[in-house]
Amino acid sequence: MAREKLSSAAVDEALTRLNGWTLGSDGGSIARTFEFRNFSEAFAFMTRVALAAEKMNHHPDWSNVYKTVHIRLNTHDAGGLTALDIELAGKIDRLAGGSTGR
Amino acid sequence: MAREKLSSAAVDEALTRLNGWTLGSDGGSIARTFEFRNFSEAFAFMTRVALAAEKMNHHPDWSNVYKTVHIRLNTHDAGGLTALDIELAGKIDRLAGGSTGR
């Protein structure tokens, strides 16, 4: 179930419960950019996300430049978004705490 | 001195001492992709690179997808490559250990 592709209605509904995630142009991924005060805080956040992702066995595509972290989620095997992506996005939102999402 | 832009001859010489780094098409950055066995090993490597980068106060532009880590180095303030980039690349090579550079 968790790896079943979500309908676009289900994705839209999930996005209203998340914080600042946007749907990719192809509708097959969601992304959010996080800003921290410095590299140390950005990487501390990444470490917490890495632990959560490893625990779920569901991993982000992400990049970091100094204090900015960009995260993109999708489920490769399903060719789009699944409940796993929504669950991980929710966890990431909670871990982001004081960051400025943009 | 460390933040002075290197000549292209100096960059070429430095690349011969590094392991698998390639010069960006504009000559202003170097990049290398690392492959690990899984996400856990990839992120462990990233953590060690993060500590080295923070100690140098010189940070990579990097991305990660599961077991692959792509790292790009340049010195923004100098508008190109400096001794700091070469130094960090050498440290990253040593930290990479068993990874398959590609």
Q: What is the pLDDT of residue B2?
A: 74
Residue type for position A1: M
Write down the ipTM of this complex. Answer: 0.93
pLDDT tens, B20-59? 999 998 899 999 999 999 999 999 999 999 999 999 999 9
CB nearest B64 (choices: A39, A62, A66): A62
When pLDDT is averaged across residues B61-73 and rounded to a whole number, the result is 98
CB contact under 8 A, B64 and A65: no
Instruction: Give B65's contacts in chain A (Cβ within 8 Å).
Output: 59, 61
CB contact under 8 A, A54 and B65: no
Q: Tell me the three state secondary structure of residue B98.
A: coil
How high does pLDDT run on average in chain A?
Answer: 94
CB nearest A40 (choices: B54, B62, B63): B54
Smallest CA-to-CA distance from A7 within A88, A78, A97, A100 is with: A78
Q: What is the pTM of this model?
A: 0.94
Q: Where are the beta strands (DSSP E) in chain B?
A: 22-23, 30-35, 61-65, 68-73, 100-101
Distance of CA A36 to the CA centre of its chain: 16
Q: Which chain A residue has its CA at the smallest distance from B50's CA?
A: A43
Residue type for position A73: L
Mutate to test the interface with B, among A33, A37, A46 (most CBs of B within 10 A): A46
* pLDDT at residue A74 is higher than 60: yes
CB B81 within 8 Å of CB B74: yes
- φ, ψ (nearest 5 deg) of residue A42: -65, -45
Q: What is the pLDDT of residue A100?
A: 65
